[in-house]
A and B are shown apart, each in its own frame.
Chain A
């Protein structure tokens, strides 16, 4: 069944889209990731214009994050004060990202920029995940692993403007969380991702937040940043495709439930290696598009004059 997407202005197979949403849903259920960084490049491969893929991707992340944060709220695993600081940074970063996005679109370099960002971040994240999960696998075989100290003083503790974050048990400057929020907000606008894959390590390793509030707090801020990004993309470039988003959300919702159950049955370390390899594969595919001589050197953009 062909489905006409009113904003992307092309006709795609509805079941292929549903399947795509489903696969990403399975992943997000299995690994607890938003899936934005997988779905946006897959939409490029399907021929959806990058601008539409990014804006619609942000819309999708809203749906999956709402679904996730509700569970975290019940467990009281959200540090609201930290969430709001991250959010303030995130909104600024997203607004700047939207502006850069619009500017690069008029230059005709947005596709390249989005692709390069994906190659860079997917490569980085994939390599880090692979290294970490392989290490964890080794450690679990060796048994007695060294225990991490619970409270470490990093250099970020020397900055001014200190605030108490009670839920996280931290007394740190607001500057690092603001900056972290801003950079993730920027990525959300450029790449159509929630940025959880960056935010979580930053919270744990850089801010020193306890693991139990990290996921909930990052989801909390992701909802609002991606919501803001969605609305901004809708206003500045009319590139949010509601029909596309709806079909992907339906697929994603069903997939996430399957994924959660699959995740329980499989071993965590092996799962992480699998995800890392997949992220690297997507990264490689985008990189090849940039490196290999394209079949068609010319491209056309309608309705805009530069």
Chain B
């Protein structure tokens, strides 16, 4: 009985070992991003190393690194303009149930080499896979065009990006990826995923989270506007009244 257990354990270990022989050890330059009044974007450095028990066999396919950073998802409405009565107006709209506010894929090699299509599907790595567009076909005849437009618009804004060959990998061991976060960042948890692959197959996967928050005065205003809208509205009024009154009083004093 004991013998069987031990042999089972050994067999399990033997099976598990090749898959876990290379693991990721990673860190982030910052795991908190604060959006303040003078926030103009931020650069996140994702760095790490590949830890291995045994040297790499020389005939193995080269190791590659893929990094994805995904912002919080929310429903999105995509609208299309059409000319009606001589003017351009929104006519058709498609509801996309979930789309990330930010999505960047960075890799140490062209994505086709770095990860096989099956692995991309399994881990939802591509930009179209990150967007959940279920049941949109009934909303417009050419619904896929709306999803393409969403991706194109977000790419133009710098919210979605494919940065192939941007991950620096040294000696198949040390790597770093620099990800630029734009100024118009949405609040929430940003999920950082790191993959190491060989021959397109994922060898190890590691996840980190970056928390993006409005900070200081910005946060105060945003929270107040959404949690206490009446108070916020009255405060805005007060500000305007004081500014208006102060202006006329101040300049009246100056003129004397």
Asked if residues B233 and A250 are in contact (CB atoms below 8 Å), the reply is: no
Q: State the Cβ distance, B215 to closest chain A Cβ, in Å.
A: 10
A154 at the interface (CB under 8 A from B): no
Residues from chain A with Cβ under 8 Å of B89 in the complex: 109, 112, 290
- Are A249 and B81 in contact, CB atoms less than 8 angstroms apart? no
Which residues on B sit within 8 Å (CB–CB) of A302? 74-76, 101, 186
Residues of A within 8 A of B237 (CB): 59, 62, 227, 230-231
Name which of B33-41, B45-53, B163-171 contacts chain A: B33-41
With both chains docked as a complex, state the minimum distance between the C-beta of A119 and any C-beta of chain B, in angstroms: 9
Contact of B38 among A4, A71, A299 (CB under 8 A): A4
B90 in the interface (beta carbon within 8 A): yes
- Docked complex Cα distance between A25 and B226 (Å): 30
At the interface, yes or no: B128 with Cβ under 8 Å from chain A? Answer: no
Q: Closest Cβ of chain B: how far from A253's Cβ, in Å? A: 4
Q: Mark B85-100, 1 if CB is under 8 A from A, else 0.
A: 0111110010101000
In the complex, chain B residues 22-66 whose Cβ is within 8 Å of any chain A Cβ: 35-40
List chain A residues, Cβ under 8 A from B193: none
Distance, CA A64 to CA B239, complexed state (A):
12
Q: Which of B90, B93, B183 has the largest number of chain A CB atoms within 10 A?
A: B90
A66-B245, A238-B229, A304-B77 known; A59 and B236 CB under 8 Å? yes
- Is B176 an interface residue, CB under 8 A from the partner? no
In the assembled complex, the CB of A9 is this many whole angstroms from the nearest CB of chain B, namely 6
Give the docked Cα–Cα distance between A137 and B166 (Å): 67
- CA–CA, A10 to B157, complex, Å? 12
Asked if B174 CB lies within 8 Å of chain A CBs, one says no
Nearest CB of chain B from residue A137's CB, rounded to whole Å: 31
1/0 per residue, CB under 8 A from A, across B137-166: the answer is 000000000100110111000000000000
Choose one: A4, A235, A256, A306; the contact of B93 (CB below 8 Å).
A306
Complex contact B239–A246 (CB within 8 A) = yes
Cα separation A126 to B202 with both chains bound (whole Å): 66
Q: Are B243 and A298 in contact (CB under 8 A)?
A: no
Give the chain A neighbours of B240 by CB distance below 8 A: 59-60, 62-63, 66, 230, 245, 249
- Give chain B interface residues in 179-231, CB to chain A under 8 Å: 183-184, 186, 214, 218, 221-222, 225-226, 229-230
Task: Check: A242 CB closer than 8 A to any chain B CB.
Answer: yes
Interface string of A43-70 (1 = CB under 8 A from B): 0000000000000000110111111101
Known contacts A6-B218, A298-B78, A302-B101; is-contact A62 B244 (Cβ 8 Å):
yes
Which residues on the A side are within 8 Å of B152 (C-beta)? 298
Interface residues of A in 276-306 (CB under 8 A from B): 290-294, 296-306
Among B77, B221, B244, B247, the residue within 8 A (CB) of A108 is: B77
Residues of B within 8 A of A253 (CB): 243-244, 246-247
CA of A158 to CA of B249 in the docked complex: distance in angstroms? Answer: 44
* Range class of the A interface residue count: 35 or more
Can you name the residue of chain B whose Cβ is closest to the Cβ of A11? B183
Bound CA–CA A108/B247 (angstroms):
38
Q: Which of A4, A235, A243, A256 contacts B35 (CB 8 A)?
A: A4
Interface check A155, CB cutoff 8 A: no
Do residues B153 and A305 form an inter-chain contact, with CB atoms below 8 A? no
Q: How far is the CA of A299 from the CA of B40 in the complex (A)?
A: 24
B255 to chain A, nearest CB (A): 9
Residue A264 CB within 8 A of the other chain: no
Partner of B88, one of A1, A62, A294: A294
Q: Across the interface, do A10 and B236 meet the contact criterion of CB distance under 8 Å? A: no
Instruction: Please indicate the chain B residues that have their CB under 8 angstroms from the CB of A257 in the complex.
Output: 247, 251
What's the nearest-Cβ distance from chain B to residue A158, in Å?
39
What CA separation (Å) do A108 and B80 show in the bound complex?
10
Check: A26 CB closer than 8 A to any chain B CB.
no
Residue B234 is within 8 A (CB to CB) of chain A in the complex: yes
B235 CB within 8 Å of chain A: yes
Cβ of A274 under 8 Å from chain B:
no
Q: How far is the CB of B30 from chain A (nearest CB, A)?
A: 18
Tell whether A70 pairs with B183 under 8 Å between CB atoms, given A3-B37, A11-B40, A297-B81.
Answer: no
- Would you give 20 A-B contacts (Cβ < 8 Å), ordered by A? A2-B183, A4-B37, A6-B214, A11-B39, A11-B183, A64-B244, A70-B249, A109-B90, A231-B237, A238-B226, A238-B229, A242-B239, A246-B239, A253-B246, A294-B81, A294-B88, A297-B149, A300-B76, A305-B75, A306-B77
Q: A116-B87, A243-B221 are in contact. List 18 more A-B contacts (CB 8 A).
A: A6-B222, A7-B222, A62-B244, A66-B241, A67-B245, A111-B90, A230-B233, A231-B230, A234-B229, A238-B229, A246-B239, A291-B86, A293-B88, A298-B79, A298-B150, A299-B81, A301-B79, A302-B101
Residues of B at the A interface (CB closer than 8 Å) are 35-40, 74-83, 86-90, 93, 95, 97, 101, 146, 149-150, 152-154, 183-184, 186, 214, 218, 221-222, 225-226, 229-230, 232-237, 239-241, 243-249, 251
4 pairs of A and B residues whose beta carbons are closest in the complex: A234-B233, A66-B244, A298-B149, A231-B233
